[in-house]
Amino acid sequence: MLLDASQSQLVLVDYQARLMPAIFEGEAVVGNAVRLGRMARLLDVPVWGTEENPSKLGENLAEIRALCQRTLAKMHFSAAEEGLSEWLRAPAKAPQGNARSLPKHLQKPAAAEERNTIVIAGCEAHVCLLQTALDLLEDEFEVWVVTDACSSRTERNRDAAFDRLAGAGAELVTTEMVGFEWLRTAEHPRFDEVLALIR
């Protein structure tokens, strides 16, 4: 099973100004998150952000915030508890055709295009990222965790989160894996631009 850009959404969790200096390998993690966001934008993959208690931890770093079409401020550790799942679900389209052809109560809304594959990365891996990803799995999304764009204050906590997520059914991937799977071919019209981000 490979990632499909047309079925994917990207969620960037809590890359916040006051948190990142304490994060293990924080600079590399942010660099990969920015790469992911730029690749997503090039390939028309929606990008969402979350911020945990921003009045205390600050907003996401400016380079992360700029990539997100919307950012959810939250107090729960799981963004799904505060409405992220609703953001990720496709809204129903209005009924098509002649409104007089069927009574209104019998008309069914047309199904919107679903993007049920959630590519997710963020901090802290063992708290907000973990709880959000587990709730998204429970909400029947496919969850792909980008390991080199995630971290915690300690390496041990980060690795424990990855073990638990894999055991729960999340796919563990890297930034490069995501980019090349979204592209699928060197003939993709955006190949050179995505390759420049990866290198």
* CA separation for the pair 30, 190 (Å, rounded): 23
pLDDT digits (tens, 9 = 90+) for 86-113: 999 976 555 555 555 555 555 555 445 7
pLDDT at 76 over 50: yes
HEC secondary structure over the chain? CCCCHHHEEEEEECCECCCHHHCCCHHHHHHHHHHHHHHHHHCCCCEEEEEECHHHHCCECHHHHCCCCEEEEECCCCHHHHCHHHHHCCCCECCCCCCCCCCHHHCCCECCCCCCEEEEEEECHHHHHHHHHHHHHHCCCEEEEEHHHCECCCHHHHHHHHHHHHHHCCEEECHHHHHHHHHCCCCCCCHHHHHHHHC
Q: Residue 99 has what pLDDT?
A: 53
pTM: 0.89
Q: Residue 199 has what pLDDT?
A: 82
pLDDT, average across residues 8-29: 97
Q: What architecture does CATH give domain 5-90+114-198?
A: 3-Layer(aba) Sandwich (3.40)
For the ranges 45-54, 85-94, 144-153, 188-197, the lowest mean pLDDT is seen at 85-94
Q: Residue 152 has what pLDDT?
A: 98
Please give the mean pLDDT across all residues of the chain. Answer: 92
Taking alpha carbons only, the member of 174, 183, 139 closest to residue 31 is 174
pLDDT digits (tens, 9 = 90+) for 111-130: 457 899 999 999 999 999 99
Strand partners, 93: 110
Question: Where are the chain's structural domains?
Answer: 5-90+114-198
pLDDT, average across residues 147-175: 98
